[in-house]
Amino acid sequence: MGIGAGAGVAAVGGLALSAQASADGTSASSSSGSDSLGSLAFDPDAYTELTTTVTDTEGTEHSVTYHFWKAITYVAKPVDEKYQSLNVSVPVKIDGTAVDASDAPILFANSVGGYMPSSVADATGVGGPAGGPMGGGGAPGGPSAPTASPSPSASNATGDTNATGGALNTNQLLALAAGYVVVEPGARGRTLKNSAGEYYGVAPAAIVDLKAAVRYVRANKGRIPGDTDRIVSAGTSAGGALSSLLGASGDSPLYAPYLKEIGAADASEAIFATGAWCPITDLEHADGAYEWNWGANATSAGAAVDQSVSKELRAQFAEYQAALKLKGLGGFGTLNARNYDAYLVKQYLEPSATAHLAALSDAARATYLAAHPFITWKNGRASFSWADFLTHVGARKKNVPAFDAFDLSSGENNEFGKGTTLARHFTAYGQKNDTTGLTAKRVDGDIPELLRLMNPMYHLVDKPNAGRSRHWWIRLGTKDSDTSLTVSANIAAAAHGLGDDVNHLYYWDQGHGANTDPGDFIQWIAKVTGRKARRK
């Protein structure tokens, strides 16, 4: 499906993309910064003009000429400029037609994966590799800079793959071709370590950095192209978690001291709309949610996980879900551990399978149904049971516990590291069952605050935040067992319960990092922002 990009601008909405960038010229002149912003003043003239080719969903190539600002440090007192910098891309010509992006929406696309470092310093244009592990170019679990150290198992953490970068690059290129401004921020991540052996990218560094980057953009209203009141964030996996957190926690005073410490601009960090793909979040409750969802499924090696541990964690989920008092979409009623399976099947899974099957040819649909007899196809609608769906998905991605590992081996344990301590427990259950020889019976005293800073559910349920995003685009693959299917559904239910606009669906038979409807996302941005590219 193509997207309407406004009068005189080609419709673009693509899956297959090519980035054939060529430098057409550079404007090196520099305008003086404003007195109020000092070093944080955006220089409108310090860009390089590039041209790239974007292929839309219909297979049509579009030539996009854009101005590219590279690696702008977005804080006055950076801890590490390589990661605390952003790129800006502004389209000026699409298929030979000049466009004015001065009031276009701004896509704020982070490329964080696995809560690892993400840098834009080496990017050569929009949608380029983001220089950090699993952020579009690095190997999972590997270091992204000389200061990075080996991390706990990335595969046991978020399961992020380089598909994270691919999914977002699609969004970024399509947004540019639609006439939107694209901002790509870097951020510190959990493996960064200084010469003293201290981890300086652990929680809450990544969300603080992204908030600071939003503040930079908003502080430069009138200097940076685009409508700074129409910022739409995007992120996948851990990046999806951070995008959700940006949307939920806008202008929360909890982050003020952290932002002040790094010299963030004095501006709002609220965003207008949130795009989140397979968010790995609500970490303190993620182990219970995972076992409720995937506890009966064997691992890829064919072995069942420890069912006594799984049962205890499922009980924790039941208690947590009941306390949320969330009502399901579609008038479903209050969600709990007893009815959540029926809710997922009715609200998301059967509609997802129906959409997938309806899009197939008659012959292809018959072949698929013959290979998957658990699906009943009647009157153009798919139906099946939750138990059969779990069997269809098959092996679970992670062991038990999936996030707060007893041996402190997960990436999330590293995310809550501190000082020279590589990894810490962040749940009472993980601390109680520690196998590394810890003597403390309780989690460290700063953990509760860090969990509030890192969890969008706190800002949507515990303390509903007035500065939150009011528009939510949430996506997840039905075969994504990197986290529970309830995690994104709870975010959607919480936002919907506050009266926000929620567009949430699951991709049938897709795994972690899937993004099968990027053209629809670009259309959605145009709809919710009311902004489209303008022809000059």
Q: Is residue 13 situated within a structural domain?
A: no
Of 152-156, 265-269, 301-305, 464-468, the least confident: 152-156
The token pair at 257 is: 């001291």
Q: What is the pLDDT of residue 169?
A: 77
Arithmetic mean of pLDDT, 477-495: 98
Confidence class of residue 56 from pLDDT cuts 50, 70 and 90?
confident
Q: Is the pLDDT of residue 23 over 70?
A: no
Q: Is the pLDDT of residue 415 over 50?
A: yes
Q: What is the pLDDT of residue 15?
A: 34
Q: Is residue 86 situated within a structural domain?
A: yes
Of 11-25, 264-278, 346-360, 380-394, the least confident: 11-25
Reported as a single tens digit per residue, the pLDDT across 173-218 is 999 999 999 999 999 999 999 999 999 999 999 999 999 999 999 9
Q: Is residue 386 situated within a structural domain?
A: no
Q: Is the pLDDT of residue 145 over 90?
A: no
At a CB cut-off of 8 Å and minimum separation 6, what does 158 contact?
Answer: 113, 114, 115, 237, 238, 280, 411, 412, 482, 483
Please tell me the pTM assigned to this model. 0.89
Arithmetic mean of pLDDT, 358-372: 98
Q: Is the pLDDT of residue 484 over 50?
A: yes
Q: Which residue, 479, 483, 318, is CA-closest to 398?
A: 483
Total domains in the chain come to 1
| CA dist 241 → 278, 415, 457, 475, 510 (Å) | 8, 13, 11, 12, 19
For the chain, percent of residues with pLDDT exceeding 70: 85
What type of residue is 500?
A: D
At a CB cut-off of 8 Å and minimum separation 6, what does 87 contact?
Answer: 68, 69, 70, 71, 72, 120, 123, 126, 183, 184
Confidence class of residue 60 from pLDDT cuts 50, 70 and 90?
confident
Arithmetic mean of pLDDT, 518-525: 95
Q: Which residue, 135, 130, 128, is CA-closest to 154?
A: 135
Mean pLDDT (the chain) is 88
Three-state DSSP state, 84 = coil
Confidence class of residue 9 from pLDDT cuts 50, 70 and 90?
very low
Q: Is residue 427 situated within a structural domain?
A: no
Task: Count CB-CB contacts under 10 A for residue 195.
Answer: 6
Confidence class of residue 30 from pLDDT cuts 50, 70 and 90?
very low
Distance CA 294, CA 358 (A): 28
Arithmetic mean of pLDDT, 363-376: 98
Q: Is residue 263 situated within a structural domain?
A: yes
Maximum pairwise Cα distance, the chain? 69
Confidence class of residue 168 from pLDDT cuts 50, 70 and 90?
low
Confidence class of residue 132 from pLDDT cuts 50, 70 and 90?
very low
Q: What is the pLDDT of residue 128?
A: 72
Q: Is the pLDDT of residue 467 over 70?
A: yes
Q: What is the pLDDT of residue 59?
A: 80
CA torsion through residues 129, 132, 135, 136, sign: positive
For the chain, percent of residues with pLDDT exceeding 90: 82
Q: What is the pLDDT of residue 432?
A: 97
Task: Count CB-CB contacts under 10 A for residue 424.
Answer: 25
Q: What is the pLDDT of residue 535?
A: 58
Q: What is the pLDDT of residue 129?
A: 58
Give the residue ranges of DSSP H helices in 295-407: 307-324, 340-344, 350-358, 362-371, 386-393
Q: What is the pLDDT of residue 409?
A: 98
Task: Count CB-CB contacts under 10 A for residue 324.
Answer: 19
Helix (H) or strand (E) holding 333: strand 333-334
Assign residue 133 the CATH number of its domain.
3.40.50.1820
Q: What is the pLDDT of residue 24?
A: 42
Given 3-state DSSP classes, what are the helix, strand and coil percentages for the chain, each rounded to the nearest 5?
30, 20, 50
Q: Is residue 292 situated within a structural domain?
A: no
Confidence class of residue 33 from pLDDT cuts 50, 70 and 90?
very low
Q: What is the pLDDT of residue 151?
A: 32
CA torsion through residues 38, 42, 46, 48, sign: positive
**Are 191 and 150 within 8 A, CB to CB?**
yes
Distance CA 317, CA 311 (A): 10
Q: What is the pLDDT of residue 20?
A: 41
Q: Is residue 101 situated within a structural domain?
A: yes
Of 13-27, 59-73, 336-350, 431-445, the least confident: 13-27
Domain that holds residue 76: 22-284+453-531
Q: Is residue 354 situated within a structural domain?
A: no
Of 27-41, 420-434, 489-503, the least confident: 27-41
